[in-house]
Structure 1
Amino acid sequence: MSFSIESIIWAIFFLPVISFVLCLFKFKVGESRLAGPITVFSIGVSFILSLYAFAKILSGTPVFSERLTSFSWIVIDSFDVTFGIILDPLTVSMLVVVT
């Protein structure tokens, strides 16, 4: 099973966010033993995906150093603010360090 690098990068970003929202609205403080494992699992998967992206950089794959634009956030005449991720070797290195 092969995923595009764009979907992997978005998964690195959204997995911890989804686990945060799930734990915020689903579990009460101190009442659930499931909140911790869900959070640790999502951060662990994000870390593994970050290592995969870093390995792609080390292998010299030229797919990186591109701008991944997801959608236009604000559009007023010729003024356009887009939401996306700039993917380069520094970004992928910081993904591993921060995760």
Structure 2
Amino acid sequence: MLHILIVRYTVPADQVTPHVAEHVAYLEHHHADGTFLLSGQTVPADIGGVILAQGERASVEGVSAEDPFVAAGVAEHEVITVDPGRVDPSLATLLPRAR
């Protein structure tokens, strides 16, 4: 399954900044282990970010709770599960059901 994690800051950006390095390490770890397929900031950036994750929802929710932003109380995640019905061929290799 695919999951969209909407990362919303719960405090002003200056309170988020001290946690950025830990958050980036968290993103890099989960990109490397294959859980995260995409991550990036919203535009404008002061809203938060978006992560596209794959795996069982319970597992992704656990990973979501480990985000240093969440642990520090400077952001929250909304997890939205998506069951892809139509997929562009360029993305098919990422989605086992679409192959």
TM-score, normalized by length of structure 2?
A: 0.28
Higher strand share goes to which structure? 2
Whose RCO is larger (CA < 8 A, sep 6+)? 2
Higher helix share goes to which structure? 1
Bigger Rg over Cα: 1
